[in-house]
Amino acid sequence: MAIFKYKDEEALGIVLSVDTATVIIKVADLDKLRRMQVNRLVVLQSSKPGQHLIGLVQKITRSSAEQEQTGQKEADEVEMPALPPQLNLVRASLIGTLIDRVGTKENVFRRTLETVPEIDAKCFAVEGNVLTSFMRVIANVPGEGQKLSLGHYTLDESAEAYLNGNKFFQRHAIIVGSTGSGKSWTTARVLEQAASLPSVNSLVFDIHGEYMPLTGDGIKHYRVAGTGDLVNKKGFADGILYLPYWLLDYEALISMFVDRSDQNAPNQAMIIARTVVQMKKRFLEENHQKELLDNFTIDSPVPFSMDALLDELNRLNVEMVPGARSEKQGDFYGKLSRMIARLENKRTDRRLGFLFQSPRESGQLSWLDDLSRILLAGTSQQLDKKGGIKIIDFSEVPSDILPLIVSLIGRLSFSLQQWMIPEKRHPIALFCDEAHLYIPERAEGDAANEVSIRIFEKIAKEGRKYGVGLVVISQRPSEVNHTVLSQCNNLVTMRLTNAEDQSVIRRLLPDSLGGFSDVLPILDTGEALVVGDASLLPSRVRIQEPKAKPNSGTVDFWDKWLERECKEGISEAVNAWRKQNLQ
């Protein structure tokens, strides 16, 4: 059944002018004008039968002549003649076409303009039941089963705002908004719905341990090992992740071990490359991995011994070689001292224990199999059939190497998907909360940032082909890498107050929606502007509260200060700071 069945007398106005995708509508009646509001939808007659064009109201004006007359009326109390009707103008941008029937399908919405309206075409309102049915059509979510819903439309609380769950993850998404606008809650809402799907597969990079309260069969929690985990070396079963240093690729190793400002940096990088290859070869030889030996590169995830690497560096650093007359200093004599000291420091730094002091088994090839099986498997592929959504808590990872560690997991997921036989590939979405911290716009000479930007840019550009979706979440879109942002075709924008952030988001919006972005600073907490592949029509959505709420860390200062007694935790804090351990 066609949704739009208007009678001529229901028309609000008629088209006065058309300019590519913008129309000006003349509204004769003031009451009718009141039914038009900015950001509401209108329907326009198309020149093709069985089609209607959909417009988004952008601007409503009443002529100044009319206002003057109204003012006069009040002053003089004189009845004025009826106002000239052609002075009420509404500007709308055309955003798509609704076709009553295409083949066997009824009510098909397309984001293209198959025709433009003719002059004098009639314009109608989309309200009440018509709006509800229209929204249902445009939310045409494929397939049976559970759909992805964010909440309800602000325009019409009775209509549920569904997203196309395929398109949302296929073409990447961003969730942005000023601090406290509701990003983490929105993320929790998406996660909790995904969690109920039997084969869901996602990684959530939880930088502050905010998502701890999210639980259920579809969700598992992991934490990158902190200093407190180094003593009893708990493992995967207890939700503790070790990420041994040999998983880092060459660039990442260099960024960690070589100080760029050192005048010997190029030599040091070269020596690291040479020695790491030697050490990996030695490992493969000792483990009789003939096939791997023939084909591996420096970036291959093959374990090597850090002790052996250091021994070799120390040897080169004092090496004497035969000279013309007597022994002379080797090529690298004394040039590696600072790098060796740096490496020693990192190796013994307890905060980096998850890299350098992981359990003995982590030095085996099979460690990567185990780790990958945990991180890359959907719920139904997990041994216990639980936890396809893996929330990884990075709160104990030192901030200077956070980009290296998050991107390490990003690279691991991407590489495995890339190397998987296409028929066996199971899609995975990476939720990157606080993305500005590890996918920054500029690396600013920081090698760890460069490594991370490179990896996430690659995922943003090529992830779709390999079934890796990104959900970039940030309070500062202007500080998130623009190449990554521009690859994201779905936008969930919550309240944004900063002008720079607004302008970055505006540039990502389709041109025809320029005016829509004016609502960015006035959106309510928990309200979002949703635009993109997954929603067909831009809409304002009130996000439904997730069942389990993330720890958003909002502290009620005044109420706390009002308390007669407060808790004492200062000595404990001093102690924990010294130990670098909260437990």
Ligand X SMILES: Nc1ncnc2c1ncn2[C@@H]1O[C@H](COP(=O)(O)OP(=O)(O)OP(=O)(O)O)[C@@H](O)[C@H]1O
Q: Nearer to ligand X by C-beta: 434 or 450?
A: 434
Pick 51 or 186: Cβ nearer ligand X: 186
Token code pair at residue 81: 């003649």
| Closer residue to ligand X in complex, CB, 94/389 | 389
Question: Angle 557-561-566 (CA atoms, 0-180°, nearest 5)?
Answer: 115
Exposed / middle / buried, residue 532 (Cβ in 10 Å: 0-12, 13-18, 19+): buried
Whole-angstrom Cα distance, residue 392 to residue 369?
18
Task: Name the 3-class secondary structure at 46.
Answer: coil
Pairing mode of beta strands 389-393, 202-206: parallel
Between CA 439 and CA 430 the distance in angstroms is: 13
CB of 393 to ligand X, least distance (A): 15
Q: Which does 554 bind (CB under 5 to 8 A by kind): Mg ion, ligand X, none?
A: ligand X
Q: Which does 545 bind (CB under 5 to 8 A by kind): Mg ion, ligand X, none?
A: ligand X
Q: Which is nearer to ligand X, 104 or 554 (CB)?
A: 554
Give the shortest CB-348-to-ligand X separation in angstroms: 34
Closest residue by beta carbon to Mg ion: 184
Q: How many CB atoms lie within 10 A of CB 451?
A: 26
CA separation for the pair 424, 381 (Å, rounded):
12
Question: 26 is in the binding site of which of Mg ion, ligand X, none (Cβ under 5 to 8 A by kind)?
Answer: none
Q: How far apart are CA 301 and CA 170, in angstroms?
A: 28
Residue 185 Cβ vs ligand X, minimum distance, rounded to whole Å: 3
Q: How far is the CB of 500 from ligand X (least distance, A)?
A: 16
Give least dist CB 517 to ligand X, A.
18
Q: Which does 13 bind (CB under 5 to 8 A by kind): ligand X, Mg ion, none?
A: none
User: What is the nearest approach in angstroms of Mg ion to the Cβ of residue 473?
Assistant: 7
Report what 177 binds from ligand X, Mg ion, none; CB cut-off 5-8 Å by kind.
ligand X
Cα 127 to Cα 250: distance, rounded to the nearest angstrom: 59
**Shortest distance in whole angstroms from residue 167 CB to ligand X:** 22
Which lies closer to ligand X via its Cβ, residue 343 or residue 430?
430
For residue 140, count other CB atoms closer than 10 A to its CB. 13
CB of 559 to Mg ion, least distance (A): 21
CB nearer to Mg ion: pick between 176 and 195: 176
Q: How many CB atoms lie within 10 A of CB 568?
A: 7
What is the C-alpha to C-alpha distance for residues 213 and 206, in angstroms, rounded to an integer? Answer: 12
Contact partner at residue 180 from Mg ion, ligand X, none, CB < 5 to 8 Å by partner kind:
ligand X
CB nearer to ligand X: give 228 or 550: 550
Residue 161: CB minimum distance to ligand X, A: 12
Looking at the Cβ atoms of 181 and 539, the one nearer to ligand X is 181
Between helices 250-257 and 337-348, what is the axis angle to 10°? Answer: 100
* Residue whose Cβ sits closest to ligand X: 526
Cβ neighbors of 333 (< 8 A, separation 6 or more) are: 317, 318, 319, 320
Least distance in angstroms from the C-beta of 103 to Mg ion: 45
Q: Of 107 and 184, which CB lies nearer to Mg ion in the complex structure?
A: 184
Query: Rounded CA gap, 144 and 204, in Å?
Result: 26
Question: What residue ranges bind ligand X (CB under 6 A)?
Answer: 177, 179-185, 475, 525-526, 543, 545, 550, 552, 554
> What phi and psi, each to the nearest 5 degrees, are found at residue 509?
-80, 145
CA distance 168 to 470: 9
Report the sign of the C-alpha dihedral through residues 551, 552, 553, 557, in that order: negative
525 binds, among Mg ion, ligand X, none (CB under 5 to 8 A by kind): ligand X
Residues binding Mg ion: number (CB under 5 A)? 2
The terminus-to-terminus CA distance of the chain in angstroms comes to: 62
The interface with Mg ion within residues 87-126 (CB under 5 A) comprises: none
Q: How many residues does the chain have?
A: 583
Q: Which is nearer to ligand X, 177 or 440 (CB)?
A: 177
Restricted to residues 147-206, the positions that interact with Mg ion (CB under 5 A) are 183-184
Question: Toward Mg ion, which CB reaches closer, 124 or 438?
Answer: 438
Distance from the Cα of residue 451 to its chain's centroid: 18
Q: How would you label 513-524 residue by residue, b for 16+ Cβ within 10 Å and e otherwise?
A: bebbbebbeebe
How many whole angstroms separate alpha carbon 10 and alpha carbon 236? 65
Of 117 and 526, the one with the shorter C-beta distance to Mg ion is: 526
Beta carbon of residue 210, minimum distance to Mg ion (angstroms, whole number): 6
Q: Which two tokens stand for residue 324?
A: 């013309």
* Reduced DSSP (H G I as helix, E B as strand, rest coil) percent helix, strand, coil of the chain, to 5: 40, 20, 40
Please answer whether residues 473 and 432 qualify as being in contact, where contact means their C-beta atoms are separated by less than 8 angstroms.
Answer: yes
Q: Residue 353 binds which entry of ligand X, Mg ion, none, with Cβ cut-offs from 5 to 8 Å by kind? A: none
Task: Give which of 192, 176, 164 is closest to 389, Cα–Cα.
Answer: 192
CB of 213 to Mg ion, least distance (A): 13
Contacts of 185 (CB under 8 A, 6+ apart): 526, 543, 545, 546, 549, 550, 552
Q: Which residues bind Mg ion (CB under 5 A)?
A: 183-184
